[in-house]
């Protein structure tokens, strides 16, 4: 019986899989053109599985060598001779392990330098179309010897069209880090020590073609996996609706897609409903996973990335993608940020929920910044969430704690304070997330799903009557786009001469209404 797989290589005979054949064909088209390129995606993004399918697909027409330096003795990278012999041995081992002819042709003890390796490749690649794939390049890409090897491949690629020797038809490097981001990786790892090789590592792979193939799963692609599952299990699920819901929360991140499906199948008694998807999301957020561990590690390793994510999620700031900003490049490279449409957003709602919870946890550990909690039973009655009462109670507690406080309250913490407040009310039952970009390119702050209800809350800081009226218009536009009749506007007023008490009143504009709240 097949199952959903979230560890290691996926195989169709054992696992339910998204149909990635179109992605494989697109990559194969790049190989056919003789291009050299890198496939750089975040961890657990299906790179190794895709590479395995690509290997089988290309083997019909090309001689394919798929290798990795992972687990290789470190001495291989000590000298050029060690590397050249190590590389040939790895290639030879590839053929022998698969019982393919050609293993012995890759053994040559006389190849003890990169010049001799170049001559060797001239001979072995002549009149052949050989495709070299190197997986897990992160393990070796900060090594000067490996970078010299890439320099060799680069030079041979440039000379190939001039008839000055032969080389691999195509080379594919696979990993999280792009070769172009080597310095960034080494700084993060504390291993930026290639002083004499600085000029070399600036562009060892500038011959690479841009790899623009979308490796995430679309809802129709997710449906191909669920169709196969439904044939075996006959649960009666609405495949289209479930696929779209999974895509909406995961952004098509391969690990998250498969993990949600596995949880529904194995832990939620095959509850293939929209509510089942939400319950699976709650469980995945409670898990200890290497993916979430990596997110925290990457945030804590880079103060710039930490602050950028805080500004997006907590402060509600918008940023345009800037390739020269190292924090932005890191966030995109790690799969935490997406730059579709040039505006930075968190890659998916699950990441957003997790990172938001992380920031809240930092807030919770500091009792000096805490805010009094309303009794949950006041806000939630008979399974219904009273958003109006929740906001009014919050404003009262906020007023009591901060109105006369001598401590200067940071404006950037408004959203975090509100999220910290509402967390106990919706924890385990509802969700909250920031939908930073609407179809009209209008920004909203907070979406709260609780049971079958959805609440739209706009959080603002007072910047005058004109800006406040603009906030009214934005909220109405967003309510229209979501086909909702009511919403909530919570404005934090930091003026010195401000109202003595918090205020809240319902405002009606046409068929829409919203609670206009002023926290002081």
- Among 42, 343, 299, which Cα is nearest to 178's? 42
- Is residue 189's pLDDT more than 60? no
pLDDT tens for each residue of 249-301: 999 999 999 999 999 999 999 999 999 999 999 999 999 999 999 999 999 99
Q: For residue 197, what pLDDT is reported? A: 43
Mean pLDDT, residues 73-91 taken together: 95
Evaluate whether 15 touches 3 at the Cβ level (below 8 Å): yes
> For residue 64, what pLDDT is reported?
97
- What is the rounded distance in angstroms from the CA atom of residue 352 to the CA atom of residue 342? 19
Confidence at residue 192, expressed as pLDDT on a 0 to 100 scale: 44
Q: Give the whole-number percent of the chain exceeding pLDDT 90.
A: 64
Number of H helices, E strands in the chain: 19, 16
Average pLDDT over residues 70-83: 92
Whether residue 443 is predicted with pLDDT greater than 60 in this model: the reply is: no
At 372, the pLDDT band (50, 70, 90 cuts) reads low
The class of domain 19-201 in CATH terms is alpha beta
Taking the C-alpha atoms of residue 260 and residue 4, their distance in angstroms, rounded to an integer, is 9
8-36: string of b/e by CB count within 10 Å (b at 16+)? Answer: eebeeeebbbbbbeebbeebbebbeebbb
What distance in Å separates the CA atoms of residue 210 and residue 43, rounded to the nearest whole number? 20
Predicted confidence (pLDDT) per residue in 199-227, tens digit: 444 467 889 999 999 999 999 999 999 99
Say yes or no to pLDDT of 503 above 90: yes
Cα–Cα dist 418/435, whole Å = 16
Q: What is the pLDDT of residue 335?
A: 95
Q: Is the pLDDT of residue 338 over 60?
A: yes
Alpha carbons 311 and 41: distance in angstroms, whole number: 24
List the alpha helices (DSSP H) in 202-348.
Answer: 219-233, 239-250, 254-266, 274-286, 290-301, 303-313, 326-333
| CA nearest neighbour of 371 among 410, 421, 423 | 421
pLDDT on residue 490: 95
| Sign of the dihedral defined by the CA atoms of residues 306, 308, 311, 312, in that order | negative
Residue 46, exposed/middle/buried by CB under 10 A (0-12, 13-18, 19+)? Answer: buried
- What tokens does 56 get? 């089988």
How many C-beta neighbours within 10 Å does residue 504 have? 16
Q: Residue 427's pLDDT is what? A: 76
Secondary structure letter of residue 209 according to DSSP: B
Helix (H) or strand (E) holding 172: strand 170-175
Domain assignments of the chain as residue spans, ordered by start: 19-201, 219-287, 366-519
CA angle 121, 88, 128 (to 5 degrees): 35
What is the C-alpha to C-alpha distance for residues 173 and 179, in angstroms, rounded to an integer?
A: 9
Question: Residue 301: its pLDDT value, please?
Answer: 94
User: What does the mean pLDDT of the chain come to?
Assistant: 88
**Strands of 37-40's sheet, edge to edge?**
37-40, 170-175, 130-135, 63-68
Give the CA distances from residue 475 to residues 211, 318, 345, 444, 502, in Å, rounded to whole numbers and listed in that order.
38, 17, 20, 7, 21
pLDDT value at position 441?
43
Distance of alpha carbon 397 from alpha carbon 26, whole angstroms: 57
> Which is nearest to 219 in space by CA: 250, 195, 190, 197?
250
What is the pTM (predicted TM-score) of this model? Answer: 0.86
Question: What pLDDT was estimated at residue 181?
Answer: 56
47-58 tens-digit pLDDT:
999 999 999 999
The string of pLDDT tens digits covering residues 6-17 is 998 999 999 999
């Amino acid at each position: 019986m097949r199952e959903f797989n979230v560890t290691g290589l996926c195989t169709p005979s054992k696992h339910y899989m998204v149909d990635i054949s179109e992605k494989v064909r697109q990559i194969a088209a790049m190989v056919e053109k003789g291009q050299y390129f890198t496939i750089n995606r975040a961890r657990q993004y299906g790179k190794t599985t895709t590479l395995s399918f690509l290997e089988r697909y290309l083997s019909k027409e090309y001689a394919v060598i798929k290798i990795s330096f992972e687990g290789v003795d470190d001495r291989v990278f000590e000298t050029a001779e060690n590397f050249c012999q190590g590389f040939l041995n790895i290639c030879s081992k590839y053929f022998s392990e698969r019982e393919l002819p050609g293993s012995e042709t890759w053994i040559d003890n006389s190849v003890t330098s990169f010049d001799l390796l170049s001559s060797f490749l001239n001979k072995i690649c002549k009149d052949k179309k050989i495709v070299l794939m190197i997986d897990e390049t992160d393990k070796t890409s900060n090594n000067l010897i490996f970078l010299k090897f890439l320099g060799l491949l680069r030079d041979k690629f440039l000379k190939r069209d001039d008839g000055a020797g032969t080389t691999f038809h195509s080379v594919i490097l696979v990993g999280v880090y792009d070769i172009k981001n080597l310095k960034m990786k080494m700084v993060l790892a504390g291993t930026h020590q290639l002083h004499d090789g600085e000029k070399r590592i600036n562009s060892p792979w500038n011959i690479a073609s841009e790899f623009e193939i979308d490796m995430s799963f679309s809802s129709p692609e997710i449906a191909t996996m669920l169709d196969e599952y439904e044939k075996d299990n006959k649960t009666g699920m609405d495949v289209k609706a479930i696929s779209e819901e999974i895509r909406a929360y995961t952004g098509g991140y391969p690990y998250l897609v498969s993990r949600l499906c596995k949880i529904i199948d194995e832990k939620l008694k095959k509850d293939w409903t929209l509510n089942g998807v939400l319950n699976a999301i709650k469980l995945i957020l409670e898990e200890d996973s290497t993916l979430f561990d990596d997110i925290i590690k990457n945030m804590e390793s880079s103060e710039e990335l930490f602050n950028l994510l805080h500004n997006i999620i907590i402060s509600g700031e918008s940023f345009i993608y800037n390739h020269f900003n190292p924090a932005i490049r890191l966030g995109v490279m790690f799969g935490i940020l997406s730059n579709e449409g040039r505006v930075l957003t968190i890659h998916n709602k699950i990441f957003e929920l997790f990172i938001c919870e992380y920031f809240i946890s930092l807030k919770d550990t500091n009792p000096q910044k805490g805010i009094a909690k309303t009794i949950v039973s006041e806000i939630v009655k008979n399974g219904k969430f009273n958003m109006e009462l929740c906001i009014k109670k919050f404003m009262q507690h906020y007023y009591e704690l901060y109105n006369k406080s001598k401590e200067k309250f940071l404006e950037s913490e408004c959203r975090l304070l509100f999220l910290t407040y509402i967390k106990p009310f919706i924890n385990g039952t509802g969700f909250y997330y920031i939908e930073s970009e609407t179809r009209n390119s209008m920004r909203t702050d907070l979406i709260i799903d609780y049971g079958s209800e959805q609440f739209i809350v706009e959080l603002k800081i007072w910047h005058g009557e004109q800006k406040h009226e603009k906030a009214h218009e934005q909220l109405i536009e967003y309510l229209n786009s979501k086909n909702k009749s009511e919403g909530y506007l919570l404005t934090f007023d930091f003026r010195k001469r401000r109202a003595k008490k918090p205020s809240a009143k319902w405002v009606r504009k046409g068929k829409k209404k919203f609670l206009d709240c002023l926290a002081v």
